[in-house]
Amino acid sequence: MEKLPELIKKVNFVKGILFPSTNNEAFIGKNARRMMMYLSITADDDVQRTLSFFEKMEARQGGLNMLGNRDASFCYLIESFPKLLVFSVDNHFKPLVSFLELVGVPKEGISTILLTFPPILFYDIEKDLKPKLHGLAKAGAEEKDIAKMILKYPWLLSNSIQKNYNRLLAYFNVKKIPKASFDIAIKSWPHVLGCSTSKMKSMVEQFAELGVSRTMMVPVITSSPQLLLMKPTEFLEVVSFMEEFGFDSTTIGRILCRCPEIFASSIENTLRKKVQFLMDFGISKDRLRRVIRKYPEMLLLDTDNTLLPRLRFLMKVGLSKKEVCSMICRFSPILGYSIEVVLEPKLEFLLSTMKKPLKEIVEYPRYFSYSLHKKIRPRFSVLKSRNLDYSLEDMLSKNDEDFVRVYMDVDVPLVVPSVTSKDAS
C-alpha cells in the first residue's frame, strides 16, 4: 500500500499539471462545452467517461466554467477517474507530460488537453499515444499541426473519433470532394471529426439547395468547416436573413461561396447589428442590398473597432455623411481598409502632392485600392511631367498598355512598373 506522504506528493504533482497558475479557465470550459455540443457519433468508453465527468461538473454551481478550477473540479475528477492515484509520478505522469511537450504542446496547454479529455492521463506512450498520433498524420496532419489540433479537440485521440475519420472520408469521396480539402477542414476545425455522416449530409444538402456545386463547395468547407457542424435550422435562419434583403437562392449561394463565415455568425449580435448601424448612418436598405451583394465581408467587420473609426476618419477630413455613404455604395471595401496604412497616406498624397480636391475620392473611392508606390505615385509622375489634365479614374483604371497609348508617346519607354492588379497598400 502506498504511504501517505507519497500519495500526497502524487496528488500535488497531478494538481500541478492539471491546474497551473496560468490555467485559462474560461477557454477550458468553453472548449469542453463545444466538444459536447458538436458530438453526434456514438462515443467510446473514454469519451463516455469524459462526458460523465462533464455532467457532474455541469450539475454544480458554475458548471463547466469551473472545469479549470482546482477547488471545484479535482474531487469530481478523482471520483470519475479513480485510477488517477494509481499511476507512478516518475514512471508514468512525468514521461507523459514530457512526451506531450515533445510533440509541440505548450506547457500551459497541457492542462487544457488533460482536463477536457482525462483518459489521456492513462495512455501508454508507445501503445496508445504514438499510434493515435500516427493516425492523425494519415489524416493529413503535419507534425507542426498536430499539437494545435489536439489543443482544440483532445477527443481526436479517442478511438471513436479516429474511426469516424474513415467514415467521413468515404462520404466525401462519394461527393467527389478531394481528401486534401477535407484534411484542410479538419486541421482548422477538428471538431468536424465528431460529426456523424448523416448530420453532415443534411448540411451539404442545404448548400446544394443554394446552387453550391461540388467545385464551389471545396472553398466553403476549407475556409469555414464549422458550417458542417451547424443545424440546418440555424443555417436557414441566416438564409432567411438574406432573403429579407430580396436576395434569391442563387445570390445567397454566391455570398455563401465568397464569404462562408457569414453563415456561421450570430444574426442578432453580428449581422443585424451591422446592417442597423449602416442604415442609421444613412445608407438606405436598397443601397445596402447592393453593398452586401458586392462586398458581403462587410457584415463581418467589427462595428466599434473597424466601421466606426473609418466613418469618423472620412468625416473628420471634411466629407459629409452623404458623401461618405456615396463612397461606401460605390466601393464598399473601403470600410475594411486600415486608416494608418491605407487611407491616411493615400489621402495625404492626393491632397498635398496631387493637389486634388476631396470630391475626387467621392467620385472614385476605388482610388484607395491601388498601390501608392507601385501605381499611384508613378502614374502621377508621368502625367505631371506631361502637364496633362486627368481624373483619378482616368489615371488608375486603365491597364498599362492603355495608359501608354492614351498618355504617353509610343517612342517613350514606360516608367510605370508592370502592375495591373489592384493593391490596397
Give residue-wise pLDDT tens across range 203-247. 999 999 999 998 899 999 999 999 999 999 999 999 999 999 899
Distance separating alpha carbons of residues 37 and 48, to the nearest angstrom: 14
Q: How confident is the model at residue 114 (pLDDT cuts 50, 70, 90)?
A: very high
Statement: residue 380 has pLDDT above 50 = yes
Structural domain contains residue 339? no
Q: Look at residue 8 in the predicted model and tell me its pLDDT.
A: 85
Q: How confident is the model at residue 296 (pLDDT cuts 50, 70, 90)?
A: very high
Q: Look at residue 424 in the predicted model and tell me its pLDDT.
A: 58
Q: How confident is the model at residue 413 (pLDDT cuts 50, 70, 90)?
A: very low
Q: Look at residue 1 in the predicted model and tell me its pLDDT.
A: 57
Structural domain contains residue 235? no
Structural domain contains residue 242? no
Q: How confident is the model at residue 5 (pLDDT cuts 50, 70, 90)?
A: confident
Q: Look at residue 388 in the predicted model and tell me its pLDDT.
A: 87
Domain that holds residue 117: 1-195
Structural domain contains residue 345? no
Q: Look at residue 10 in the predicted model and tell me its pLDDT.
A: 85
Statement: residue 167 has pLDDT above 70 = yes
Q: Look at residue 24 in the predicted model and tell me its pLDDT.
A: 78
Structural domain contains residue 77? yes
Q: Write out pLDDT tens, residues 20-50.
A: 877 778 889 999 999 999 999 999 999 999 9
Number of domains in the chain: 1
Q: Look at residue 141 in the predicted model and tell me its pLDDT.
A: 78
Q: Look at residue 395 in the predicted model and tell me its pLDDT.
A: 93
Under a CB-based contact definition with an 8 Å cutoff, are residues 303 and 277 in contact? yes
Q: Look at residue 419 in the predicted model and tell me its pLDDT.
A: 44
Q: How confident is the model at residue 420 (pLDDT cuts 50, 70, 90)?
A: very low
Q: Look at residue 366 in the predicted model and tell me its pLDDT.
A: 97
Under a CB-based contact definition with an 8 Å cutoff, are residues 247 and 255 in contact? yes
Residue type (1 letter), 99: F
Statement: residue 303 has pLDDT above 60 = yes
Averaged confidence pLDDT in the chain: 91
Structural domain contains residue 39? yes
Percent of the chain scored above 90 by pLDDT? Answer: 79
Q: Look at residue 163 in the predicted model and tell me its pLDDT.
A: 93
CA distances from 333 to 43, 182, 270, 342, 394 (A): 45, 30, 18, 12, 20
Mean pLDDT of the region 321-348:
95
Structural domain contains residue 200? no
Q: Look at residue 417 in the predicted model and tell me its pLDDT.
A: 47
Residue type (1 letter), 89: V
Mean pLDDT of the region 256-276:
94
Statement: residue 411 has pLDDT above 70 = no
Distance separating alpha carbons of residues 91 and 97, to the nearest angstrom: 11
Statement: residue 273 has pLDDT above 50 = yes
Statement: residue 142 has pLDDT above 90 = no
Structural domain contains residue 386? no
